[in-house]
Amino acid sequence: MRRKIVAGNWKMNKTLDQGLQLVDEILSSSETSSQVLKIIAPPYIHLAAIAEKLSSREDFAVAAQNCHHLKSGAFTGEVSAEMIASTGAKYVIIGHSERRSFAGETNDILSQKVNIAIDKLTPIFCIGENVDQRNANTHLETIRAQLKDALFHLTAADFGKIIIAYEPVWAIGTGVTATSHQAQGVHNFIRTEINKKYGKEISENTTILYGGSCNAQNAQELFSCIDIDGGLIGGASLKATDIVSIINSF
């Protein structure tokens, strides 16, 4: 089902104490009855403690920032989808552009991550073009290929569980946000591609988030666009006042 979602990707920030304190601050200033699902994606080692703290709140959930593409085994330092689910986390970010660039994750590996995660966790799958692709006007082709190569092998039932995050790489952490016109255009393109592959019902029900320098100042305009169902927030998710104001932007 299509939902309004604000997800905070903490990346490699916050000690456990700092993370728990931030969650307390967010809880004390956000309304219980809100229709917006709030997802917090802290570092792996905080997952269990934060999931426990949020377990009584149905409007909050916890996500990991990544998972391994295999079930288990001799992969020192890695974390499996099953291990993540055992902490109480219900979501996992897959395909973030930082992992695509720092860890060399390809659409092929990412499709394997989706396959292994999908039974236990809801993937928040990130797609988006880099600055050269945007300048060369090949951004839509890039996005079409990311969808096709990493997700469009899924059955309709499994695809229906996926959340998409459109994150233009040139907007991530740069302070340069896509205009609402640019973001809406790509979100509409993504929904149309999903419609072509899986039909109207699934495309209308797919939640598509925007990410890339989304903040308390621009969230309202972005979230008012018809095909933008919320945000995946990096920098602005690290301060309670900022993320609560983004949550209240719907």
- Maximum C-alpha span of the chain: 48
Position 95 contacts ligand PGA (CB under 6 A): no
Q: Which amino acid is at 10?
A: W
User: Could you give the angle at which helices 107-117 and 139-150 cross, rounded to 10 degrees?
Assistant: 50
- Which residue is catalytic, options 46, 167, 187, 193? 167
Q: Find the shortest distance in angstroms from Cβ 218 to ligand PGA.
A: 11
Binding string, residues 216-245; x marks residues near ligand PGA by CB under 6 A: ----------------xxxxx---------
Rank residues 212 and 230 by Cβ distance to ligand PGA and give the closer one. Answer: 212
Q: Find the shortest distance in angstroms from Cβ 194 to ligand PGA.
A: 21
Find the binder of ligand PGA among 50, 67, 151, 172 (CB under 6 A): 172
Rounded distance between C-alpha atoms, residue 2 and residue 9, angstroms: 20
Find the binder of ligand PGA among 141, 173, 176, 204 (CB under 6 A): 173
- Which residue is catalytic, options 46, 68, 69, 96? 96
Rank residues 11 and 120 by Cβ distance to ligand PGA and give the closer one. Answer: 11
Rounded distance between C-alpha atoms, residue 95 and residue 102, angstroms: 11
Find the binder of ligand PGA among 4, 9, 40, 105 (CB under 6 A): 9
Half-sphere exposure of 135 (CA within 13 A, CB side): 5
Which residue lies nearest ligand PGA, judged by its C-beta?
A: 234
Query: Is 96 a known active-site residue?
Result: yes
Rank residues 194 and 236 by Cβ distance to ligand PGA and give the closer one. Answer: 236
Q: Find the shortest distance in angstroms from Cβ 31 to ligand PGA.
A: 23
Pick the closest to residue 213 from 235, 183, 193, 192 (CA basis): 235
- In this structure, which long-range contacts are made by residues 23-29, counting pairs with CB atoms below 8 Å and at least 24 apart in sequence? 23/50, 23/53, 23/54, 24/53, 25/240, 26/240, 26/243, 26/244, 27/53, 27/54, 27/57, 27/60, 29/240, 29/241, 29/244
CA dist list (Å): 27 to 22, 52, 64, 97, 244: 9, 13, 19, 29, 9
Rounded distance between C-alpha atoms, residue 206 and residue 98, angstroms: 24
Q: How many residues bind ligand PGA (CB under 6 A)?
A: 13
Region 177-216 residues binding ligand PGA, contact defined as CB under 6 A:
211-214
Rounded distance between C-alpha atoms, residue 18 and residue 37, angstroms: 22
Rank residues 167 and 229 by Cβ distance to ligand PGA and give the closer one. Answer: 167
Active site residues: 96, 167
Sites of contact with ligand PGA (CB under 6 A): 9, 167, 172-173, 211-214, 232-236
